[in-house]
Structure 1
Amino acid sequence: MSFSISNEDIANFRADYNSRRDSRVLERTVTKNGVRNASFDWHSIADDTPHFSIDLKTGDVADQKQSGRCWMFAALNTMRHEMQQKFNLPDNFELSQAYQFFWDKFEKANYFYENVIRTANKPTDSRKVSWLMAAPQSDGGQWDMLCALISKYGVMPKAAMPESFNSSNSRGINDVLNNKLRHDAVILRGMINNDHASEDELNATRQKMLNEVYRMLAYTFGEPVQHFDFEYRTKKDNEYHRDANITPQEFFKKYVGWNLDDYVSIIQAPTADKKYHQTYTIDMLGNVVGGRQIKHLNLPMDEFKQLAIDQLKAGESVWFGSDVVKYSETKLGIMALNTYKYDELFDVDLDMTKAEMLDYGQSMMDHAMVLTGVDIVDGKPTKWKVENSWGNKVGHKGYFVMSDEWMDQYCFQVVINKKYLSDKLLKEQAQEPIVLKPWDPMGTLA
């Protein structure tokens, strides 16, 4: 059965449009002001005031600029929050995001080569190869990927490796690097399928390719230092401290001091293909070959939120992933379902369940931030305080208010210290994960 739009159909649509008393008023309003402005509900400002019963002390908000490093900024922010309290560091202290960015892109190149070799027997129009070539690497990532980087390379203060033009504006290097990786994929696939190259020949070629990638990244971001001096003055009494000739690995152990294995990913994915209380991983997703595996424990929303609340109550901020653009007012710093009334503006039904939005591509995780507070009323959360990484000129000096209803719909992941998991949840988290397809919504990068 097919349906072609006839002139009679169009005449009926015109008649219906012109029969509505408000059509011309709304047409003038929307064409002049745009869809978002015309559908904005000012009541959301009053409903989402920035006051919270649990409100952690945090420093200045960081700014990822024109790059997709939110996952990296959010994770490093959770670490610096504790550092600032423990060592009395100034509010503007940050860990170097550029340092992690360099190694992430370097490791992603190698991870891409690994997947190219692994899928070399498949045709280029297979779904796996097409998915792989669509984005050989990008700025995005997930919590477990940053843990893999830190375990291998450590961390350093921003002063030891500051931002470059390219770390703050990554489109240029992404275009060129993806060009190179696709070029290298042609060579590797040809060596396997046409030349029947040995493993030693493949490894030698791969080493040459990685050497070129390293040079490209060093030109772009600056070559990471292996030793540095950590100098700072305390916030309260202005005391000077200096730790000379320290390595990134030593710095992480001494000043962050986390056991990264203690922090695990909890997801909220209510789709029919993902049972609750089961762990999942994603095929072909990662950055460090042989590094930490992506692993998620899927839980119902009430358990998901309670873990976040427990961690906040204990004074620890919470890394989380969400679909930030949905019903989010950036300038005012509001994330709430009543912010924009698109359905009322156009008189259409837009309702979809969270599962339907995931299954049909309407929503997925695209941005990571940090929970730094929550407002508990009569034992229930009503709104959450969010530290973003878009600088201090948006929201409330960079902080946003997220309604609890918005969290229900558009929050998909939190990272929780294992000490807040019950014995039952610990056993569930230890399960061998089910492997999801590379394009599964839970494999999207923040």
Structure 2
Amino acid sequence: MKQLLLGATFCFLGLNSVNAQKYQFKTITDVESTQIKSQDRTGTCWSFSTTSFLESEVIRLTGKDVDLSEMFTVRNTYSDKALNYLYRQGKAQFSEGGLAHDVINSVEKYGLVPESVFTGLQTGEEKHNHAELIAVLKSMLDTYIKKPAKQLSPKWKPAVESVLDVYLGENKKEFVFEGKKYTPKSFAKYVKIDPSNYVTLSSFGHAKKYEPFVLSIPDNFSNGSFYNISLDELVAVTENALKNGYTVELDCDVSEKTFSSKAGVAVIPASSADKKKALTELVKEKNVTPAYRQAEFENFNTTDDHLMHIVGIVKDQKNNTYFKVKNSWGTKQGNDGYVYMSVPYFRLKTISVLLHKDGISKDLKSKLKL
């Protein structure tokens, strides 16, 4: 009897081995984008991802492949964040984090520059690391807030700017690019980036449908507005934009064990027992409803961890759809630095997307009054 059972066990294992299906992906849509970079030891994914998104916009709008500076935007946003933190007397977020609209706000206020003009690295530095910079700035701001001189020192702002100059470099008022002189604002016009053309979309049950609302998450220090749409519409607008040549900026939660930059996939298995297997093999995925999505957000299982750039669509051998997501952790992991994110993962873990308003359907534009 034991021999029969043992034989049956081997047959079952062999059948499982035969039925196991390793991922096989085929490209459906691949919108042109620039090379993957690494944000190194910084929390500036918001700038790297949105700058990558803007580089794809420059390609789409002008046909030019321009390497834009992430750190020019970071430097100016740190200035704005410092002012916000001080004026709120420390009752606000002050960290390396941010959101996609912070880049758009920076373009409107400060413009853009090429990477060759502003790298954010000082002499001898090869990688970004902002841990010390943020610690120094926060310590300074906390001191000014306490007002040891009994009143707020007027020196606080030039002192903060000096620290940013030392760590990241001085702001550029004018520069030469390909033989022509530009200011950051005139350069933004040259590459045809108009901040008024970009909108942020989200989907949550606690906000009114088709109206802008301020999403209360820690990194939304600038109180940016999000248009609230249905979850099905959030998926559809992303797919349709990509199919029509528009890339999409993504803010999502990557804390799930089934988000793996190493394996290059992000999925939501229907069974928790399949979490490990799902990184290499096809498994049944969870049916993600708006109610489940909302519950996971409200219990903090879904948070605004990381921003990336969606540049395409792929499908597996069973015709399931995945978004091709460009990460900013270098090219040595996963699919040469890309993560293939399933639609169930996107439905559950997306905080928001940002895209050009022309990438939105006429019907949805009408609902949003755009």
Q: TM class, shorter-chain normalised?
A: 0.7 to 0.9
**Partner AA of 2:197 in structure 1:** D
Taking only aligned residues, the RMSD between alpha carbons, in angstroms, comes to 3.3
Kindly indicate whether residue 89 of structure 2 is the aligned counterpart of residue 150 of structure 1: no
Q: 1:344/1:375 Cα in 2 relative to 1: closer, same or farther (>3 Å)?
A: closer
Instruction: Name the counterpart of 2:336.
Output: 397
User: Shift of residue 334 of structure 1?
Assistant: 0.9
Offset of residue 392 of structure 1: 0.9
**Where do residues 35-434 of structure 1 align in structure 2 (5 Å cutoff)?**
46-47=22-23, 49-84=24-59, 89=64, 93-116=66-89, 132=92, 135=93, 137-164=94-121, 165=125, 168-187=128-147, 191=151, 205=153, 207-230=154-177, 242-255=178-191, 257-270=192-205, 273-282=206-215, 294-326=224-256, 327-338=258-269, 341=272, 353-375=292-314, 382-421=321-360, 425-426=364-365, 429=368
Structure with the higher helix share, 1 or 2: 1
2:349 and 2:149 map into 1 onto residues whose CA distance is 40
Task: Measure, in 2, the Cα distance between the counterparts of 1:312 and 1:52.
Answer: 12
| TM-score calculated relative to the size of structure 2 | 0.80
Offset of residue 189 of structure 1 = 12
Question: Residue 329 of structure 1 contacts residue 339 of structure 1 at CA under 8 Å; is this kept in 2?
Answer: no
Q: Encode CA deviations 1:182-226: one digit per residue, 9 max, x unaligned.
A: 1111129964xxxxxxxxxx6xx3x42111000011011111222
Q: Which is higher, the Rg of structure 1 or of structure 2?
A: 1
Task: State the TM-score, normalizing by the size of structure 1.
Answer: 0.67
CA deviation digits over 1:367-402, x for unaligned, max 9?
11111112479xx96111111111111121111111
3-state SS of the aligned residue for 1:168? coil
What is the CA–CA distance in structure 2 between the aligned matches of 1:411 and 1:181, rounded to whole Å? 33
Distance (whole Å) between structure 2 residues aligned to residue 78 and residue 113 of structure 1 = 31
Over 3 Å counting, the alpha-carbon distance change for 1:55 and 1:364 in structure 2 is same
Query: How many correspondences in the alignment?
Result: 334
Shift of 1:332: 1.9
| Contact in 2 for aligned 1:166/1:220 (Cα 8 Å) | no
Segments of 5+ residues of structure 1 without an aligned counterpart are: 1-42, 117-128, 192-201, 231-241, 432-446
What amino acid is the match of 2:207? K
Contact 2:197 2:356 (C-alpha < 8 Å) held by counterparts: yes
Q: Could you tell me whether the CA contact under 8 Å between 1:266 and 1:415 is conserved in 2?
A: yes
Q: Partner of 1:370: helix, strand, or coil?
A: strand
1:370·1:387 contact (CA, 8 Å) conserved in 2? yes
Q: Within 1, Cα distance between the matches of 2:174 and 2:59?
A: 22
- Confirm or deny: 8 A CA contact 1:70 1:368 kept in the other structure: yes
Q: Secondary structure at 1:98's aligned position in 2? A: helix
Q: Distance in 1 between matches of 2:248 and 2:120?
A: 25
Letter in 2 for 1:329: S
| Aligned residue identity for 1:267 | S
Counterpart Cα distance in 2 of 1:374 and 1:44: 24
- Distance in 1, matches of 2:365 and 2:148, equals 42
Q: Residues 98 and 167 of structure 1 are in contact (CA less than 8 Å); yes or no, is this contact kept in structure 2?
A: no
Unaligned runs of 5+ in 2: 1-18, 277-285
2:165 is paired with a residue of what secondary structure? helix
Q: Percent identity?
A: 21
TM-superposed deviation, 1:353: 2.4
